[in-house]
Structure 1
Amino acid sequence: MTEVTPPVVLSIGGSDSSGGSGLQADLRTFAAVGAYGATVVTAVVAKNTRAAADVLEMTPPVIAGQLKAVLDDLPVAAVKTGMFASADGIGEVLARAKAGALPNLVVDPVLLNEGIKSRRQIAMALERLLPYALVATPNREEASALLGWQVATPADMAQAARELVSGGPQYVVVTGGDLVVGTEALDAVWAAGEERYMSAPRITARNVLGSGAVFSAAIAARLAHGDAVVDALTYAKGLVGRAIQDASDWRLGSGPGPIDVCGWSAPVI
């Protein structure tokens, strides 16, 4: 059998001790999609399925050292950013992005994590990173924080995606989260002057921890495989829907648990 070297995807974000979100969710997703995952840790978050208890922020030199170690050695084909505990660490990533060292950059602007300090400062720093992104994936609340107005309806989501694209990313997906239109869960996409919605049947589920991380990680992994952006978006939305459905009966922890991106709920043959 001929072994094919998997594409490398770099995730830059926070470590979640529960394993449900952050870098841990990203690495599971990369593996599930057939990519090899490398990481740059921006923060270590002590959390479980109920809440975050404490955060240890990595200093800019530590972040810079990790970036150098990975990028000097591994053939990174795509990059995803997630949580930054403060605006300081974003500067190191921005410098690499400006140098063209972060291919197929997917920015997941995590702004609602309990461990984040100074959300407005982080949002302002992320605005400087967005022009270097191929894809940005804010949810409605994150889009609201970035734009300074409340994104509440499908029309708002489309407008928000349009405004965020004007700030630099080639593609913006504003995910609807718990917004339901009829029986559908909607995401608004804006790219190259074209507006569209992605929809899927709404799944009512308790376990949704890490669904945003899985979505952006799956996009990055498919881009690393060479997919066109729209194909990567479609794949990622389908993967998240299946992962939520497959984990609907899980009872991991006393709060909302993780989703089943690896297909562990499927019968073992």
Structure 2
Amino acid sequence: MSRFEQISEHIHIMHAEHETDRPILAHIRGSRKSLLMDAGNSPQHAAQFQEYLQEQGLPKPDYLVLTHWHWDHTFGLPAWDVPVMAQRITAQTLRSLADLEWSDAVLRRLSDEGVISDRTISDMKGEYGDIADMRVIVPDLLFADGLDIDLGGVTCSVEHVGGDHAEDSCFLYVKEDKTLFLGDALGPSVYGGPFSYTPAHFLRLISKAYSYGAEIYVESHGVPTKRQAFHDDIGRWEQFARIVERFGEDPDAVSRGMCDYLQTESLPDEFQSAMDYFMAELRRKPDGIVK
């Protein structure tokens, strides 16, 4: 069942739903304009948030900004008749998908090419009654490094940060509410091979996230987290990435180092999965093939 919440004075969200990979959507309201963060993974997803906004007496968004191009954040665009802001790579990638006639054969080809994954195909089919109904909208307001949006007493700063998950990943910071939307930027790569993390990319993104001084952190497939809880949790992952940097392609040494840090006998499952992601990247050849 869909869940909605006002997380700060100016921000309402629709929580993530994992069954068909629906990310968080956010409505940010100023005194003059309103902004929507991400479009949803389908018009049906978008319509549920639209119904909530109407029930709350919140205005239709004047702008929509995308955190990155992945389908779960963008395929809901046909439901939003508003100007769309996006990083240039986001627009370029969506443009390459816009003229496709969606079918099982097209999905299989895109998966074989590493553009999407088998998990994506499953989620798309779960979200859409007929995948032929899928439509891709190309953003019309593009930026390279970032932009500031004045909504009237509320300033939203969008910054291109990149990373393993998607090279076009962006953060969105709502200054007055001290709320940082991280999108999926802290996640591993999910397309084009095994999931993978680059320690240097991960550590850079964590440092960037800390630099905003936010009080609320929001990852698109997580839940809004207060500053101390976020720092406590992400601090463990930061340490793990540093241990991987130190020991490289030696999973046993990495495991021992992290167990020493956590003061545990064995490496927890969540870190074992991340170990696989880090090792996959370290073993990747220059041509992109994993050793």
TM > 0.5 fold call: no
Q: Which entry has the higher C-alpha Rg, 1 or 2?
A: 2
TM-score (norm 2): 0.30
Say which structure, 1 or 2, has more relative contact order (CA 8 Å, 6+ apart).
1
Higher strand share: 1
